[in-house]
Amino acid sequence: MDLSKLPENPRTVEERAAALEKVRKVSRELESADRTTFAGQLLALREEQVRALSFSLAAAILIHVSSHGATVYNDSESWVWLKYFFDACDQEAIRWSDEQVEGISRIASDSCAKRGLGPSLQLSGALLVALRKRTSGHWGELTTIHTDLLQVCLVAKLYSLAAQVTDARGTKVCPRRGTASLPSTLALDLQRFFYYSGIAYCAQQRFKDASHAFCECLTLPAGSLGAVHLEAYKKYVLTSLISHGKVLPLPRYTPNAVRTAVSTADKSEPDPIRAYHQLAKAFAKRDQGVELQKVTKEKAAVSDYEASGNAGLVKYVIQAYWKSTVQELTGTYVTMGLADISKAIQQPVDGAELEVLRMILDRDIRARIDQSTGTVRFLSESEDVEEQSKAVRKIEAQIAQVMQVTEEVQALDKRLGTSKDYISKRAFRGGGSGVSPSEDL
C-alpha cells in the first residue's frame, strides 16, 4: 500500500466515482494496515501531496479508521496524523468528500467518547480544522461535525470551545455536495447537537441558554420518544427552575410523543422523569424548603440524579430556591433583619448576609445592607436609581480629589525644580534627593 499513488482530486462527478472505485480496490490493504504504518505513510507525504490527494486520502482514512478507530486509537498521540491531514488538505476537495469526512469525524468522536480525555484533547484540534474547511468558515451551517466536535469537547472538558461552536451555529443545515435537498445532518444528529449545547452552557453556568438549547432538542420533529428526549427533558426541568424559577411549558409545536411522555409521567410506573416533576412541585412550595429537601434526598431520586449526571444541577436548583425566597421577601417587606432572612433561607446569619450581598451584586434584588443594625433595606426601583446616582457622584468626587492632589503635586514639583534655593541646597549637599520637613523653602 502506497498512499502517494492514490488518485488526485476529482473535478467532475465521474472522476469522483472513479477515484472512489480505485480506493475501494485497495480497501483490504487499508483495513489490514496497522496504525503505525498508516500514520507513518500519511505523515511522510508533503503538504502539496496531501492537497493534491485530499479526496482519495479522505476515503482511505475512512476505510482505515472504520476497522481500527475504536480499538487502537486510544492515546494522546493517536490523532496527530489526522490533524496533519486536515491542516494540509484542499478545502474544495474536502467539500467533495463530505460523506467521508463526516464518517471519519463520527468514528473518531465515538472512539474518544469511550477512551476518555487523552485522545479527545488531540482530536478536538483536528475536528475544529475539519469543521472550518467543511463549512468554508461558516460555522452557522450545521453539519454532523458540529455534533462530533461538541461531544469531543465535552469529554475533553473544553467548555469554552464548545460554547464558541454553539454560539456560532445558525439555523441553516449545510447540504452535501450535489444533494442540496438532502441535509447532511439527520434528526438524531440535531437532537444530539442541541443536547450537547445545553450541557456546554451548563458547564459555563449559562442556565438560561442551556434551558433554551434543551427546549430546542425536545421540539425537533420526532415520530417516537428516544433516550435523548428523556435526558434532555430532565435537564430542561432543572435549568428552567434555575433560570426562571419554574418549569416553562413546552411550545405547542412539541412532538406528540414528547408531550404524551411528559403528561403521563406521574401516572406510569416506573417513570424516569417522575422525580423531576416532584422536584418542580416542591420548588413551587414555600415551606422553607421542607418538601424540597425531602424529594432531593429520596434514594431513588438521588440514584437517578447521579446516573443522569444531574447531581450538580440539583444543587443549583436548591440554591435557586433560596434565592427566589429572598426575592419574594422584597415584595413583602421594606426592612428586614438578617436574622429573619437567615431563618427564611435556613442558613446562618453570615451565610444569609453573603447570599444577599451576592444577589445585590448580581442585580437579582435591589437592597442595601446596614451592618451596624444587622438589617437589610429593600429598595424600590426609583430608590435603586437614586442609590446608583449617589454612588456615581461619590466616585466622581473622589476622582476630582485625586486629580486635584495630582495637580498640586505637579505644581510643587515644578516650583522645586525652578527654585534657586532648592537647587543650591541640593548642590551643596551633593545631589540629595530632597529636603527635610524642617527646611523652609
Q: SS in 3 state form for 339-394?
A: HHHHHHCCCCHHHHHHHHHHHHHCCCCCEEEECCCCEEEECCHHHHHHHHHHHHHH
Cell of residue 47, nine digits:
503538504
- Whether 194 has a pLDDT exceeding 70, the answer reads yes
- Cβ neighbours for 389, distance < 8 A, ≥ 6 positions apart: none
Report the alpha-carbon angle 140-198-172, nearest 5: 20
Cell of residue 10, nine digits:
476529482
Count of alpha carbons within 13 angstroms of residue 30, beta-carbon side = 22
Question: What's the average model confidence in pLDDT over 146-173?
Answer: 81
Q: What are 40-81's pLDDT values in tens digits?
A: 888 888 888 888 888 888 888 888 777 765 555 555 556 788
Question: What's the average model confidence in pLDDT over 250-279?
Answer: 81
- Whether 161 has a pLDDT exceeding 70, the answer reads yes
CA 98 to each of CA 107, 137, 153, 219, 316: distance values in angstroms, whole numbers, following the listed order: 14, 15, 21, 28, 41
Q: What are 203-224's pLDDT values in tens digits?
A: 999 999 999 999 999 998 887 8
Question: What pLDDT does 183 receive?
Answer: 47
Cell of residue 236, nine digits:
430542561
- More confident call, 260 vs 69: 260
Question: What's the average model confidence in pLDDT over 320-333?
Answer: 77
Question: What's the average model confidence in pLDDT over 131-156?
Answer: 81
Residue 249 has a CB neighbour count (10 Å cut-off) of 9
- Whether 234 has a pLDDT exceeding 80, the answer reads yes
- More confident call, 267 vs 287: 287
Mean pLDDT of the chain: 79
Question: What pLDDT does 109 receive?
Answer: 81
Order across the sheet with 367-370: list the strands. Answer: 335-337, 375-378, 367-370
- More confident call, 174 vs 164: 164
Question: What's the average model confidence in pLDDT over 393-406?
Answer: 88
Question: What's the average model confidence in pLDDT over 108-119?
Answer: 69
- More confident call, 120 vs 252: 252
H helix or E strand, kind and range, residue 123: helix 117-134
- Whether 261 has a pLDDT exceeding 60, the answer reads yes
Q: Please report, in angstroms and rounded to a whole number, the separation of the first and last CA atoms in the chain.
A: 93
Q: Which of 188-192, 426-430, 431-435 has the lowest mean pLDDT?
A: 431-435
Would you say the pTM of this structure is higher than 0.75? no
Question: What pLDDT does 217 receive?
Answer: 92
- Whether 190 has a pLDDT exceeding 80, the answer reads yes
What is the percent of the chain where pLDDT is above 90?
13
Read off φ and ψ for residue 253, nearest 5 degrees: -85, 10
- Whether 273 has a pLDDT exceeding 80, the answer reads yes
Closest of 10, 110, 24, 1 to residue 54, by C-alpha: 10
Cell of residue 160, nine digits:
469554552
Question: What's the average model confidence in pLDDT over 362-373?
Answer: 76
Question: What pLDDT does 435 receive?
Answer: 45
- Pairing state of beta strands 172-173 and 175-176? unpaired
Cα–Cα dist 277/405, whole Å: 63
Q: What are 304-320's pLDDT values in tens digits?
A: 888 888 999 999 998 88
Alpha-helical (H) ranges within 176-289 are 187-203, 207-219, 227-244, 256-263, 274-284
- Whether 99 has a pLDDT exceeding 90, the answer reads no
Question: What's the average model confidence in pLDDT over 268-289?
Answer: 80
- Whether 180 has a pLDDT exceeding 50, the answer reads no
Count of alpha carbons within 13 angstroms of residue 47, beta-carbon side = 5
